[in-house]
Amino acid sequence: MKILIDPGHGGKEQGAVGPTGLLEKDVNLRVAYFLKTLLENDGFEVFLTRTKDVTLTLKERVEIARKLSPCLFLSIHHNANSERNTHVNRFEVFVPFEFEGPSVSLGRKLAEVFSKHRGQIPFGPMPARYTVLKSSPFSVLVEPGYIINPDEEKRLRSDSYLKEEAKLLYEGIKWVLEDGCNFRLTLKRHTPREIVISRKDINIASLEVTIDDTSWGHYTIEEEYIKVLYPASWKKLHIKGTTPKGIEIFPFRYTNPEYVPIVSFSQSVREFGNLKLVHLSFFDNRGEYAKRGLKVRIKAKNGEVIKSSDTVEERGSVYILLKTDIPENEIEVSFKGFQAITNVHSIEDLRNDEIAGIVHGGGLPLENTLIKHERGYTISGKLGVFKTEVDDNITFLKKGYYPFYLVSPEPKENYYVEMRPIFPGISRKRILLRASMKNTAHDGSVQMFSSIFKNVLLSGGALVKDIITEFPGWDNEPYIVHKTVSEKPDLAIKVQSKENRLILYHYYRDTDTLEILKRISSYFYKLDIPSLEIKESSDYFAIHPSGRRIIINIPFNMNRYEAHLYSYLIFLGFEHYFADEPLTLEKLETEGSFVRAEHDLLTIPVKDGYIHIPTNILKLKLFTEEQTCIHLPDGNSAA
């Protein structure tokens, strides 16, 4: 049975350094050799990614593992943290991001063993996106201690201590692998009535069988097989379980080869003059809505497709905005394995007192735009399409955009309305915001700041998702990281209050985020606010998501004045980064809360009074004696 041990770092990559100069790369290698000896004495075939002090890239380590195909890949490290907190010392263990199978069981066993013998508080097992954990399905990365802790560094200089550490790692590995390395269920056969799956010894009570995410009890257990009787129509089978010792097996996933993702669709059409909003709903061969995310291709045989869905949306929906002047139109819709032609019939539906058209902003359709006229208002719909009564002056209003005035429009005409974003950098950026509350006295400050900051971002035209209100399990750190990865936001933000000062944290490898923080700090500097600090973070949220991510640590008992001021300044930094230029007076002259610019001060009204900001931080031009009004996003009310 092959085991591959990866002594972290090496060569030019020395890893963490202890207070008196002990190098992590050396400690990792010594522990790896001690562990190798113990495992080989027990009959395991053991390999090392490096056997001496040489530099190995992460890619090279992964390649070694893939060529060797070991049962287990174990990466050994000894930790530090970006904050250089020398008081921290704990056992940490990380497993592949999917967080399933024997990796999780080994991680739990190692945490238990180290906690018992060393009295360390374990952290993990935690799902992680470290490159080396992609080396093998059964992978674990351990950090048995913090080399930057002076007492731990002293112990790590002792071979007897390192041998004890290797023995504890061996104890966990031995427990998981002493019955072999087969942790998989395999498909034996698929008949018209049942699926037969070969099985390893498995704890029958631990079996969890689901079909299409619903618990399924129609299965039998035989000596070597699991037989699942499936329903007439189904898509996916999923089986989880453990061995008799409680070791998790790899989940068994199987998709019905007879499942057809799209077989039919329904259609509705709404007319807006020569614009037709076509709504197609697609269904699979079970009569359920087609899966969200399926790629779709749209081609109009007549007319012009102005805009359409790129993928299937919620409830199997695909939207097409067609421009045509003829009564009969054909649209070809195709997916992988499915193609259809739908007919769109047109009738004249604009009255003599109506107009129609499309609302765009920055080249993208703007839905839910307020369209006001003398007798009332309407709202732009899907793909920005609208229809409204004719008036001498029709006003289009949208948070984060300059108003658009349509003067004396001609009846029964179509209009293309292009709204200009006030903040082109932050406009339409997808931002994931999380208030991290830990049931402490500071949660109120975190919640207040997050609410104000969210409203500033919304008013500036950003698309904000609030993790607390929109996702269940918001207090579960691995879940939050999974959501951040899957949502793929332009920026992910965590708000916390762990220290009594304003700190903006970033991950040291995230250079994009560091550039954002530099922009933000320039506005604090111009306003002579010395309290802002920028630091590297080893927080789980900072390390494991992809893309730009920021942790904002706010002071204890922050007041509303500070919350508004800091929100505005951070917003200015965001806009500066995404627009790649600083804000000027010309960009702040319209909808929002009134901000008076006079006597070289911006006066921002908030609920508890006013905030005064010197105009020179925005590089404003000279003012005349006439009072000039500009606007910043309003943090007082939601968009």
Summarised one tens digit per residue, pLDDT across range 373-399 is 888 899 999 999 999 999 889 999 988
Beta carbons of 599 and 616 less than 8 angstroms apart: no
- Nearest residue to 471 (alpha-carbon basis) of 460, 483, 461: 483
Residue 90 bridge partners (DSSP): none
Q: Is the dihedral of CA 324, 330, 333, 334 positive or negative?
A: negative
User: Directed axis angle between helix 560-579 and helix 511-526, to 10°?
Assistant: 130
**pLDDT tens sequence across 125-156:** 999 989 999 989 999 999 999 999 999 999 99
pLDDT (0 to 100) of residue 475: 59
Does 621 or 612 have the greater pLDDT score?
612
What's the rounded Cα separation, in Å, for the pair 435 and 558?
14
Does residue 415 surpass a pLDDT of 90? yes
The fold for domain 354-419 equals Immunoglobulin-like (2.60.40)
What's the rounded Cα separation, in Å, for the pair 362 and 428?
9
What's the rounded Cα separation, in Å, for the pair 172 and 152?
22
pLDDT (0 to 100) of residue 85: 77
Highest mean pLDDT among 370-379, 581-590, 622-631 belongs to 370-379
Identical fold between 2-177 and 264-345 = no
Tokens of 298: 């749209």
- Token look-up 């079996």 returns 207
Could you state, in order of their start, the residue ranges of all structural domains in the chain? 2-177, 186-255, 264-345, 354-419, 585-632
DSSP state of 291: P
pLDDT (0 to 100) of residue 221: 87
pLDDT (0 to 100) of residue 155: 96
pLDDT (0 to 100) of residue 439: 66
Class of domain 186-255: mainly beta
Q: 3-state class of 311 per DSSP?
A: strand
Percent of the chain whose predicted confidence (pLDDT) is above 70: 89
CATH placement of domain 2-177: 3.40.630.40
Does residue 554 surpass a pLDDT of 90? yes
Residue 629 bridge partners (DSSP): 596
Beta carbons of 505 and 549 less than 8 angstroms apart: no
Please, which residues have CB within 8 angstroms of residue 249's CB and are 6 or more apart in sequence? Answer: 101, 102, 183, 184, 185, 200, 202, 240, 241, 242, 243
pLDDT-based confidence at residue 420 (cuts at 50, 70, 90)? confident
Angle at 571 between CA 567 and CA 575, to 5 degrees: 175
The fold for domain 264-345 equals Immunoglobulin-like (2.60.40)
Does residue 61 surpass a pLDDT of 80? yes
pLDDT-based confidence at residue 47 (cuts at 50, 70, 90)? very high
What's the rounded Cα separation, in Å, for the pair 491 and 389?
40
As a whole number of Å, the end-to-end CA separation of the chain is 60
Beta carbons of 155 and 161 less than 8 angstroms apart: yes
Does 139 or 325 have the greater pLDDT score?
139
- Token look-up 């070694």 returns 64
What single-letter amino acid sits at 363? G
pLDDT (0 to 100) of residue 613: 53
**pLDDT tens sequence across 227-247:** 999 887 788 999 999 998 999
Tokens of 242: 């453990």
Does residue 359 surpass a pLDDT of 90? yes
Percent of the chain whose predicted confidence (pLDDT) is above 90: 50
pLDDT (0 to 100) of residue 468: 66
pLDDT-based confidence at residue 480 (cuts at 50, 70, 90)? confident
What single-letter amino acid sits at 105? S
pLDDT (0 to 100) of residue 21: 94
- Nearest residue to 103 (alpha-carbon basis) of 144, 138, 134: 138
DSSP state of 323: E
pLDDT (0 to 100) of residue 440: 73
What's the rounded Cα separation, in Å, for the pair 507 and 503?
13
Does residue 508 surpass a pLDDT of 60? yes
pLDDT-based confidence at residue 479 (cuts at 50, 70, 90)? confident
pLDDT (0 to 100) of residue 633: 43
Does residue 546 surpass a pLDDT of 60? yes
Beta carbons of 319 and 331 less than 8 angstroms apart: no
The chain-wide mean pLDDT, for the chain, equals 85
pTM above 0.85, yes or no: no
- Nearest residue to 508 (alpha-carbon basis) of 146, 16, 150: 16
- Nearest residue to 197 (alpha-carbon basis) of 220, 166, 169, 231: 220
Does residue 602 surpass a pLDDT of 70? no
Q: Is the dihedral of CA 96, 97, 99, 101 positive or negative?
A: negative
Does residue 102 surpass a pLDDT of 70? yes
**pLDDT tens sequence across 431-458:** 999 888 776 778 888 989 999 899 888 8
What's the rounded Cα separation, in Å, for the pair 500 and 78?
29
Percentage helix, strand, coil for the chain under 3-state DSSP, each rounded to 5: 25, 35, 40
pLDDT (0 to 100) of residue 42: 94
Residue 139 bridge partners (DSSP): 73
Highest mean pLDDT among 165-169, 463-467, 553-557, 625-629 belongs to 165-169
